[in-house]
Structure 1
Amino acid sequence: MAITRIAPSRATRALNLLRTINSTHSACPCHSNPGHNHHIQNPYAGRVRSLATPVDLSQQKEYAFEMAASSIRFGPGCTKEVGMDFKHLGAKKVLVVTDSTVLKLDAMKQVAEGLEKQGIPYEVFSKTRVEPKDYSIKEAIEWAKSKQGDAFLAVGGGSVIDTAKLMNLYTTFPDADFLDFVNAPLGKGKPVTSKLKPLIAVPTTAGTGSETTGTAIFDLVEKKAKTGIAHRNMKPTLGICDPINTRTMPSAVHASSGLDVLCHSLESWTAIPFHERTPRPQDPIERPAYQGANPISDIFSLQALRDTVKYLPRAVKDPDDFEAQSKMLLAATLAGVGFGNAGVHLCHGMSYPISSQNPGYKHAGYDVQQDIIPHGVSVAVTAPAVFKYTGASNPDRHLAAAEAFGVDISNVKRESAGEVLGEALAKFLVELGDQPRGLKALGFKPSHVDMLVEGTIPQARVLKLAPNLDTSGGQEEREQLAGLFEDAMEY
C-alpha cells in the first residue's frame, strides 16, 4: 500500500497500523478463528485511505466511526461509593430515580446511606413504569422540573435508567417540545447540542446495558410503537455495576434481561459495517450513536455473546450462582458498549410493535399489574427467524456466532450459515426454559402481521443497520418484514 513519506518513525508506525487494520489474517478474535479452517473475513479491509488521499465530502457513505461509552466502575460493593462520586462532581441536590420495587431493595439503601454520609440533599422519584410509556416519561419530567436538581442518580433496570436520561434531557432543555429529540420519522430527530447534568446509573438487572449508552426507549402510545431518543450526549457520566445489586432478580427477570444481552451482541455483531451506512453526516454532532459494526464494537459484542451463552443458563437455573450473575452483569455492560456504538437491527426493530401491540400476554415472574411482554422476550422471540434471514449477508460472522453456541462449524457450508445459527438460537431458547416459542405463544395471529409491520417501518434508526433489508419504506420492505413475522410465529 502506498503511503506519503513523513518522518521515518511515524511513517513506519502508520504503515504498520494500516496493515494491521486491513489484514484479513488479523489475530484479533473478532476477525479470525484460530484452530479452524473457517475464517471470519474482515469487512473493514481496504476502507482506510492513503494518508495522501483527500476526503471527498460529496460521497454519501460513512467513512468514520466514533467510540463513545460511559465510564464504568465494576465490582461487588461499589454502590456505597456513589455519595463520594456526587461530592466530587460538586452536586448540590441529587434527583434519585427508581421504581416501586427497587425502592425497597438494598441497592436503594446503599445509595441513600452514601448520599447522606456526604451530606448531599436528594429527593426520590419512584413512579417509574416498567416498559415506560410517553405519558409516564412526561410525568417524570414534570416532577424533575419542579425539584430543581443539578444531578441525577438512576437505581434500577433499563426502564429506570432510560427514564432518568429523559428527565435529564428535558430539564436541560426545558422549553423543548417532547418530539424534538425523538427519533425520526416519529419525531423530529434533533441532535442533543450540549452536555447534560451529571447522571450516575446503578443497574439492578443484567440486561439492557443502558448504563453505557446514550439511548432511551419508550412507547409512543398514539402511534402504537416503541421509539426513543439516542445521542451520545445522553449517556450516563458513570455506570456503577455492582453484582450484589442483581442478586434480587427473580429467575424470569434474569432470563428476559439476559435475552436482551444475547440480541444486543448478535445484532451489533451482524449489523452492516459502519462504512456502508448512509448518509454521511455533514457535521459530526449529527453522526448517530448507532453507526454499524466496527472494529472496536466487534470486540465487545463477540465477547458478550460468548459469555451470555455460557453463563445465562446458569444464572437462570441457580439464583445463588454468584459467579454466573456477575458474569452476566459484565456481559450486559460489554454488550452495551458494543451495540451502543454499532447499533442493533431487526430483532429490536420488530420487538417494538410486539411490545406495544401486546394482545393480552403477561409474562410469568413479573410483579406488575398490567399485561407485559418483557423487552428481552420481545427481541428474542423473532431471533431464530431473523438470523436465518440475515445469514447470507455475512456467512462468516453468522458461523462465528453459531460456534459461540457450541456448533461445530468445521464442515458447515457458508450458504447454510443463517439456518445453522437460527437452529442454534432456537435450541438455546428452548433449553433456557419458560420462553414463548414464537409469536403465537404471545397471543399473536397471522391477522396481526400487517399491524406489526406498520409498527416496525418507522424504526428506521435500527432498520438501516439490518443486512439484506430494503429500507425504502415501500412494498418490498413491507413484504420482507411480513415474511419475517410469519416465520417468527413459532419455532
Structure 2
Amino acid sequence: MNAPDPVTENVAEHAGELREETIFTWGAPPLKFGAGAIDEIGFEMSQHGVRRVLIITDATVNATGIPARIADSLAAHRISSEIFDGVHVEPTDDSMDKAAGYAREQGPWDGFVAVGGGSAIDTAKAVNLMTTDGGELMDYLNKPIGRAAAPRGQLKPLIAVPTTAGTGSESTAMCVLDVLSMKVKTGISHWRLRPTLAVIDPLVTLTLPPEVTAAAGMDIVCHAVESYTARWYQTFDRKAPEERVTYCGANPISDLWCERSMTLLAESFRTAVRDGDDLQARSNMMMAATFAGMGFGNSGVHVPHANAYPIAGMVKDYRPAGYPHDEPMVPHGQSVSLTAPEAFRFSFESAPDRHLRAASLLDPGHDRLDDATEQLPAVLTSLMRDIGIPNGIGGVGYTEDDIPDLVPGTMKQQRLLATCPRPVTEDDIAGIFARSIENW
C-alpha cells in the first residue's frame, strides 16, 4: 500500500474547509485581426473540414457586399454557402426563431459565418445552438425567463466577423435578445456559444455613420468599466465545477483586457466618431471592443447593462439617427450608457480605487474633482456629450412615470445584478432611473 501523499492530503483538507471562491475561469476564441482578414475566412473554415456554410447577416450589411466577398473566399476553398440576411437589428425571440427556422429548412449546415454587429453574431450563436442541439429558444434563455438548459455537446464551427466596434460578441459566450411578449431583454449564456474564431477587419467599419460609431462605442465603454468594477471573484460563495457560470466576477486576467480597452478608447473614440476615415482610430476601436469582450465576457457586467434591457425593451417612439427607422428602438450602446453615470455613483463605495482608475484610463487629462465619487461620472458625461449620446433616459422618451414599469425589467436580470459589487434593491434601481432622467 502506497504511503499517503502529504501534499495531496493538505490540498484536500484545505479544499474541504473553503467557503469562499478560490477559482476563476477565463476563455476567449482564437483571433485573426487586421486589414484584409476577411479574405482568409475560406482558408480558416476549410481547416474544420466543412463543405456547406450559412452566412448570417442583416440586409444593410449584405448590401455592402461584405457577405458576398466572404462567400467568394469560401468558394475558393470548395465550400458552398448561402447568405441569410434576415437578422433583426436588436434581435427578438421572434427574429431568432425565424432565423433558426430558415436554417433548419435549408440545412443541414456544417458551419456558420456571422457578419455584422452584435445582432448578427448573437443571432448566429442562437441559430447554431438551436439547430445543432435541437432545442427551442425558451429551453436555453436565462432563468427566470427560460430554463437555462446547457447544450448537450459541441456546436458547429462559427466564425464571427464584426462590422461594428461595440458589442465584443465575437469574444463572448452569450447572446442577447428581446422577448417581445414580456417587453424585456434577456440572453443565453454558456461557454459553448463562443465563436470558433473571431475575424476582425477594421476596413469594414470605415463607412459606419457617426451615430452608430458613438452608440456602439459606448457599449465598449460600459463593458470595460462594468467588468473592471464588478464584484471580485473571491467574494462569491464557492461553486461546484458543474455550477460554474460564465460570469465569475472581476479577476486578474479580465482586468488586463479591460484596462487596455479603456486606454484604446481614450486614444481613439472621439476621433473615430469625428473622422470615420481614420483607419488607426477604427483599428483601435475594433481592438477595444474585442479586448472588452475578453474582459466582461468572463467577469461580467452589472447595473448599466441590467437597466439597459427594459430601456430597450419598453421603447415607445424613439428613432435614433443613423439607424433604420422601420420601428422605434434604443440602440444597445445607447441604452447601456444612459444610466451608467448614476450607476457608477451607486457602486463607487464598493471599490473607490477601481472607479478612479477607470476614470483615469478613459480620460487621463480630465481635471481631478474634489468629490472622488463624481470623477468617473464626470468623465462619462463629458464623453457622452462630445459624441452626441442622448441626455439620460428622458432623451429617449422616458419620464418619472415610467420608472415603476422599468424597475421590474431590471430586477429580472439577476445574472447581471449578482455581479454588482454591492447588493441592489428595487429602491436602488428606482433611484438610479430617477436620477438618470437627465445626466447633465
Residue 282 (structure 1) aligned with residue 248 (structure 2) = no
Secondary structure in 1 matching 2:318? coil
Secondary structure in 1 matching 2:15? coil
Asked whether the equivalents of residues 202 and 241 of structure 1 are also in contact (C-alpha less than 8 Å), the reply is yes
Q: CA deviation at 1:277?
A: 2.4
CA distance in 2, matches of 1:185, 1:399: 35
Q: Which residue of 2 aligns with 1:420?
A: 375
Asked whether the equivalents of residues 112 and 157 of structure 2 are also in contact (C-alpha less than 8 Å), the reply is yes
In the alignment, which of 180, 183, 202 is matched to residue 221 of structure 1?
180
Residue 151 (structure 1) aligned with residue 105 (structure 2) = no
Q: Which residue of 2 aligns with 1:269?
A: 228
Query: Structure 2 length as normaliser, TM-score?
Result: 0.94
Q: Which residue of 2 aligns with 1:431?
A: 386
Secondary structure in 2 matching 1:360? coil
Q: Which residue of 2 aligns with 1:54?
A: 14
Q: Deviations over 1:26-77 (max 9, x none)?
A: xxxxxxxxxxxxxxxxxxxxxxxx8585212773x43211111111110100
Residue 405 (structure 1) aligned with residue 362 (structure 2) = yes
Alignment of 1:42-441 (within 5 A): 54-56=14-16, 59=19, 61-146=20-105, 147-174=107-134, 176-278=135-237, 280-284=238-242, 286-406=243-363, 416-432=371-387, 434-441=388-395
Asked whether the equivalents of residues 390 and 418 of structure 1 are also in contact (C-alpha less than 8 Å), the reply is no
CA distance in 2, matches of 1:170, 1:406: 43
Asked whether the equivalents of residues 201 and 239 of structure 1 are also in contact (C-alpha less than 8 Å), the reply is yes
Residue 460 (structure 1) aligned with residue 435 (structure 2) = no
CA distance in 1, matches of 2:18, 2:143: 23
Secondary structure in 1 matching 2:138? coil
Asked whether the equivalents of residues 399 and 409 of structure 1 are also in contact (C-alpha less than 8 Å), the reply is no
Asked whether the equivalents of residues 93 and 137 of structure 2 are also in contact (C-alpha less than 8 Å), the reply is no
Q: Deviations over 1:294-324 (max 9, x none)?
A: 0000000111012112211000000111110
The residue type paired with residue 320 of structure 2 is: H
In the alignment, which of 410, 423, 432 is matched to residue 484 of structure 1?
432
Secondary structure in 2 matching 1:54? helix
Asked whether the equivalents of residues 277 and 465 of structure 1 are also in contact (C-alpha less than 8 Å), the reply is no
Is the helix fraction higher in 1 or 2? 2
The residue type paired with residue 421 of structure 2 is: P
Q: CA deviation at 1:192?
A: 2.6
The residue type paired with residue 215 of structure 1 is: M
Q: CA deviation at 1:417?
A: 3.1
Gaps of 5+ in 2: none
Query: Structure 1 length as normaliser, TM-score?
Result: 0.85
CA distance in 1, matches of 2:319, 2:132: 36
The residue type paired with residue 438 of structure 2 is: E
**Number of residues paired by the alignment?**
432
More off after superposition, 110-119 vs 208-217: 110-119
Secondary structure in 1 matching 2:160? strand
The residue type paired with residue 164 of structure 1 is: A
The runs of at least 4 consecutive aligned structure 1 residues that moved more than 4 Å come to: 50-53, 407-413
Asked whether the equivalents of residues 265 and 362 of structure 2 are also in contact (C-alpha less than 8 Å), the reply is no
